[in-house]
Amino acid sequence: MDNLLLEKSGLTDQQRIVVSTELQAKKKSKLVVFLLWWFLGAFAIHRFYLDEKKGYAVVMLLLGWLTLFIWPFIDGIICLVKTVDEINENIERNIIASVKNA
């Protein structure tokens, strides 16, 4: 997170507005992840929404039933706590990089 603040500090006010606008449009919502996990977690829909590791989502979709759906349950908790924040940070980093290059 400190590196992200450092990257943001080098931006002009106009670039910060662009980054903020783009981030609001692209970031993933913890509420949406929670709802998808709660209602469709057995089908790994929350992982497909996060759009980061499609292979992981497919394997969970195909093999989650082998663990009696304990794997998708635990994965939903991990997604809510850690993964959504990491994905949003990566999205913000990509936006900052594209704004700096433009």
What is the per-residue pLDDT across 43-97, written as a single tens digit (0 to 9) for each? 889 889 988 778 888 888 888 888 888 888 888 888 777 889 999 999 999 999 9
Among 25, 29, 22, 63, residue whose Cα is nearest residue 44? 63
Q: What pTM was estimated for this model as a whole?
A: 0.82
Residues 14 and 79: their CA atoms lie apart, in Å, by: 33
With contact defined as beta carbons under 8 Å apart, do 11 and 99 qualify? yes
Burial class of residue 61, CB neighbours in 10 A (0-12, 13-18, 19+): middle
Is it the case that residue 2 has pLDDT exceeding 70? no
Is it the case that residue 1 has pLDDT exceeding 60? no
Retrieve residue 63's tokens.
């093999």
With contact defined as beta carbons under 8 Å apart, do 25 and 91 qualify? no
Average pLDDT of span 26-55: 89
Please tell me the predicted confidence (pLDDT) of residue 73. Answer: 84
Is it the case that residue 4 has pLDDT exceeding 90? no
- Amino acid identity of 15? Q
Phi, psi angle pair for 11, to nearest 5° = -95, 150
With contact defined as beta carbons under 8 Å apart, do 76 and 41 qualify? yes
Residues 99 and 11: their CA atoms lie apart, in Å, by: 9
